[in-house]
Structure formats: structure tokens, C-alpha cells
Structure 1
Amino acid sequence: MDEKTLTISVEPLEDVKRRMLASLRGAADATARHTFASAELMSRTLTPARWNILEAMTGAGEIGIRELARRLGRDVKAVHTDMAALVTAGLVERTAAGKYLFPYDRVRVHFEFGAPAMAA
């Protein structure tokens, strides 16, 4: 069985466009990706509680809110609120059965920062 990995990254829009164009030209990258435009956006979306949800869902298959809340030791309403945010962000899918799915076995997180370029 092939392991499904999601790479979550912070990248400028230009880098995402460049990668998409390369993919259209046949330079296929089979890695599933979820890209945020900034570290601030990523940290607002992926709060510590939501990271815990993704960790609990990794490799778990379809799961209902009540079961997920039980596994996490959290209130059902709070988990529901966080799940709605993860669905809206496109990280978690809502299934036809009304459960939730994070279809990955692994998650990698990638972002870089460095000193700003000096104006000449």
C-alpha cells in the first residue's frame, strides 16, 4: 500500500504559479500539497487544537465528530468549530456519510525565512 503524504508549506504565490506551470509542462510532482501565502495565515488556520485534530485524523480514515472529540478529550462543539475551519481551509473533507476524512498517512510541514534582501 502506498503511503499518502501531504506537504503543508508557506510559499509566495509566484512560487506556487511556477510549480503549477512546471506540472502542466509534464514535470509532475505527485506530492499532495496545501500551501499558505504567509506564516501568519498558516498559524491562524492551524491553531494548536487543529494540529491535534489533524494528527488524530492522520491515517484514521473516516471519523465522526463525537468519536474525534472522545479521542481528543475535547468538547464536541469545540471540535465541530475547528473541523468547520479545517473543511473551509480545504484540509479536511466532509464525506457523503456526514463524517470527516483527512486522507493522508503522513504530514510534512515546510517553510523558510531569512534576512530580507537589502536595497541596493
Structure 2
Amino acid sequence: MNEVTIGVISLKDASERFITAWETGQPQGAHIGFESEEQLWKTLTLKRWQILKAMTGAGELTIREVARRVDRDVKAVHGDVKAMLLCGLLDKTDRGKVIFPYDAVHVDFVLRAA
């Protein structure tokens, strides 16, 4: 299964993952990291989560098809897709379609006492 972990990761931890992969030659798994919980939730709004859910395991899709799957206006979905492309959550294919190239999503972060 092609799974990605979306979570909060410090620059130090991200660097350690990179160094481990570099030194061992072993993949560390797909990971999309955010600096903070606030940044994660600001970027991944409820409507964007719905888009990710509709796109998980679906392959290449047009924005119009994504909008149909989430039952939203194409223009609004286009704005959300653009934001997700900019932060690396989605990819654009050579054919101009969008893809979330994973079959499963694992969300990981720890909430600590202030």
C-alpha cells in the first residue's frame, strides 16, 4: 500500500529523517510535514480534507471531476487545489490533471500541555 504520513515535524526531525535515508540508503516513507499544528489546520481545511479523501487512490483527475466528487463549485475547488499544489500536497501531471499519489493517509502529531 502506498501510504503517506501527514503531520507536524520540526526542522530538526525532518533533517534527521533525510540524513538517515542518505546514510542508510533506506526509504523513510512518504511524509508531508508542517511546522506546527496551526499551519497544518490552516492549510488542510475541512473542504480540502474532503478533496484529499475524494482523491486518495483515485489516480489522475481533472479539477472538474474533483469538484463533481466533492459536490462543490469548480472555481472554489480550483482555488483549494491550487493551494494544495503550492504546498506539495497534490501534484500536477504532464497531462494537466491533478493527482494525490497515495492509497492511504496517516495523520500524525502530538498535542502537548502548554
Which bin holds the TM-score, normalised by the shorter protein? over 0.9
Structure 1: 5+ residue runs without aligned partners? none
- Give the % identical residues: 46
> Deviations for 1:62-110, whole angstroms, at most 9, x for unmatched residues?
0001111111110000000000000001010111111101110000000
Matches within 5 A, 1:4-23: 4-23=2-21
Aligned to 2:35: 37
Q: CA RMSD in A?
A: 1.2
Q: CA deviation at 1:30?
A: 3.9
5+ residue gaps, structure 2, are none
Distance 1:39 1:85 in 2: 18
1:81: which partner in 2?
79
1:54 corresponds in structure 2 to: 52
- How many pairs were matched up? 114
What is the alpha-carbon distance in structure 2 between the residues aligned to residue 52 and residue 104 of structure 1?
A: 15
Q: Which has the larger radius of gyration?
A: 1
Letter in 2 for 1:89: C
Q: TM-score, normalised by structure 2?
A: 0.94
Q: Which runs of 4+ in 1 moved over 2 A?
A: 27-30
